[in-house]
């Protein structure tokens, strides 16, 4: 039997969106009246077709019921802790406490520099700060638990002194538990909860919010000829299976974020497809996060115009993602991305 997937498309913004919704000509994306849609792309493994919302009820019953269920998930408000998804995209600021992260490795190894950066990310307006003590960039190898914990300690010790939403980027359950006890409010495991089999037990025990992240293979091998039958639908299926597993394990809360993992076992074509079609993941009914900051695809696209921090490419892909309703963007240059979003919102969402 064919499996059908639903992707919201043909978006409207700002006052136009509000007017369309008022006249029942479009539906709000994620409960946000500033972004709405009036068409969906219906996909299978062998076909794709764009149809207007008003024609859904003309489809065969089985397909109609599937799309209507997906549309319900697409339009509902996504509630997640104290984060506000209705006004604009939330920014997750990156704080790598490592010597070898692909972009800023070694910059914040010293305690005073790490704390200074942490405070800077707060002042720049990061809704979330993501701290990590192990590099998972292409080609990197695992580090020992004691090494990772030592790198994290300067920030873990001060978290409770700040009323801020802190995320912990780790694959190890023991590190997760120590982070949670220190005041971490979100677990961001890039392995998709696959690296440490005890991870799910920790998530259940503490009822902690977490990110389901997709990665093909592991950091050391993930960029060695990554291959998919259909990158968009393969990752969608991965999320569905993972959600089914954690539900069967007894995790019932909806404080879960989905991240398709740009650059984690994907080539340029895979990355571009995921960003272009990112709105498909809204039909899973959970907030969507993207980590596009300074990624290799920016270099591949800009070629001779590449730069060290890739701020231009990061901002461009951030704004595009925001227009598809992505709720969280994980970035390094928080102030610049915040500035771009504020200006863009005034121009586009008026």
Mean pLDDT, range 195-220, rounded to an integer: 93
Mean pLDDT, range 257-284, rounded to an integer: 97
Output the six-digit token pair for 18: 């509000």
Q: Which is nearest to 9 in space by CA: 282, 237, 290? A: 282
Task: Give, for 46, the enclosing helix (H) or strand (E).
Answer: none
* pLDDT tens string 114-140: 899 999 999 999 999 999 999 887 777
* pLDDT tens string 312-332: 999 999 999 999 999 999 999
Residue 290 has a pLDDT of 98
* pLDDT above 80 for 108: no
Residue 43 has a pLDDT of 97
SS3 169: strand
Question: How many beta carbons lie within 10 A of that of residue 62, not counting itself?
Answer: 11
- Average pLDDT for the chain: 93
More confident residue, 138 or 33: 33
Q: Which is nearest to 94 in space by CA: 264, 340, 335, 325? A: 335
Q: Strand order in 256-259's β-sheet?
A: 256-259, 210-213, 186-189, 165-169, 128-132, 90-96, 328-331, 289-290
Which of 171, 242, 330, 338 is an active site residue? Answer: 330
Residue 83 has a pLDDT of 87
Structural domains of the chain, with CATH: 5-75 (no CATH), 90-348 (3.20.20.20)
Phi, psi of 109 (to 5 degrees): -70, -35
Tokens 């076909």 — which residue? 47
Q: Which is nearest to 122 in space by CA: 186, 180, 166, 84? A: 166
| Alpha-carbon 237 to chain mean position | 16
* pLDDT tens string 44-76: 999 999 999 999 999 999 999 999 999 999 999
Residue 38 has a pLDDT of 98
Residue 110 has a pLDDT of 77
Residue 109 has a pLDDT of 65
Query: 86-100, 192-206, 295-309: which has the minimum mean pLDDT?
Result: 86-100
Which of 266, 295, 296, 310 is an active site residue? Answer: 295
In this structure, are residues 212 and 328 in contact, taking their beta carbons and an 8 Å threshold?
no
* pLDDT above 90 for 226: no
Residue 80 has a pLDDT of 86
Alpha helix segments (H runs only) across the chain: 14-22, 61-75, 111-123, 145-156, 173-182, 199-206, 231-248, 268-276, 296-302, 311-322, 334-348
pLDDT > 70 in the chain, percent: 97
Mean pLDDT, range 195-210, rounded to an integer: 96
Residue 104 has a pLDDT of 58
Output the six-digit token pair for 150: 């030592």
* pLDDT tens string 147-176: 999 999 999 999 999 989 999 999 999 999
| Alpha-carbon 295 to chain mean position | 14
Mean pLDDT, range 301-305, rounded to an integer: 97
* pLDDT tens string 272-286: 999 999 999 999 999
299 is catalytic: no
* pLDDT above 70 for 21: yes
* pLDDT above 60 for 102: no
pLDDT > 90 in the chain, percent: 83
178 is catalytic: no
CA separation, residue 247 to residues 200, 203, 282 (Å): 11, 12, 19
Tokens 């995209």 — which residue? 89
Question: What is the four-CA torsion angle of 277, 28, 341, 239, rounded to 10 degrees?
Answer: -40
In this structure, are residues 192 and 215 in contact, taking their beta carbons and an 8 Å threshold?
yes
Mean pLDDT, range 96-122, rounded to an integer: 78
Residue 105 has a pLDDT of 54
Residue 292 and residue 102: Cα distance in Å, rounded?
Answer: 13
């Amino acid at each position: 039997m064919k499996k059908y997937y639903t992707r919201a498309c043909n978006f409207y913004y700002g006052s136009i969106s509000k007017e369309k919704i008022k006249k029942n000509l479009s539906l709000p994306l994620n409960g946000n009246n500033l972004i709405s849609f009036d068409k969906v792309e219906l996909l299978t493994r062998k076909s794709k077709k764009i149809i207007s919302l008003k024609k859904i009820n003309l489809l065969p019953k089985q397909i109609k019921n599937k799309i209507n269920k997906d549309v319900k998930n697409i339009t509902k408000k996504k509630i997640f802790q104290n984060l506000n998804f209705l006004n604009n995209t939330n920014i997750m600021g990156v704080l790598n406490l490592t010597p070898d992260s692909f972009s800023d490795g070694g910059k914040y190894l010293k305690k005073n520099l790490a704390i200074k950066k942490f405070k800077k990310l707060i002042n720049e307006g990061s809704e979330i700060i993501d701290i990590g003590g192990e590099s998972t960039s292409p080609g990197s190898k695992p580090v020992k638990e004691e090494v990772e914990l030592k790198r994290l300690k300067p920030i873990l010790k001060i978290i409770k002194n700040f009323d801020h939403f802190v995320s912990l980027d780790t694959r190890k359950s023991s590190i997760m538990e120590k982070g949670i006890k220190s005041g971490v409010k979100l677990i961001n495991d890039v392995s998709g909860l696959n690296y440490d089999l005890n991870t799910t037990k920790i998530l259940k025990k503490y009822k902690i919010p977490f990110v389901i992240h997709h990665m093909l293979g592991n950091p050391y091998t993930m960029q060695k000829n990554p291959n998919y039958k259909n990158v968009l639908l393969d990752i969608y299926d991965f999320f569905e299976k993972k959600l089914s597993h954690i539900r069967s394990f007894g995790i019932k809360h909806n404080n879960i974020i989905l991240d398709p993992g740009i650059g984690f076992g994907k080539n340029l074509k895979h990355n571009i497809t995921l960003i272009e079609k990112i709105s498909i993941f809204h039909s899973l009914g959970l907030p969507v996060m993207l980590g596009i900051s300074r990624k290799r695809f920016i270099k591949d696209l800009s070629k001779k115009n590449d730069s060290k921090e890739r701020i231009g490419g990061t901002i461009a892909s951030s704004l595009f993602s925001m227009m598809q309703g992505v709720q969280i963007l994980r970035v390094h240059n928080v102030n610049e991305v915040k500035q771009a979003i504020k200006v863009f919102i005034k121009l586009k969402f008026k």
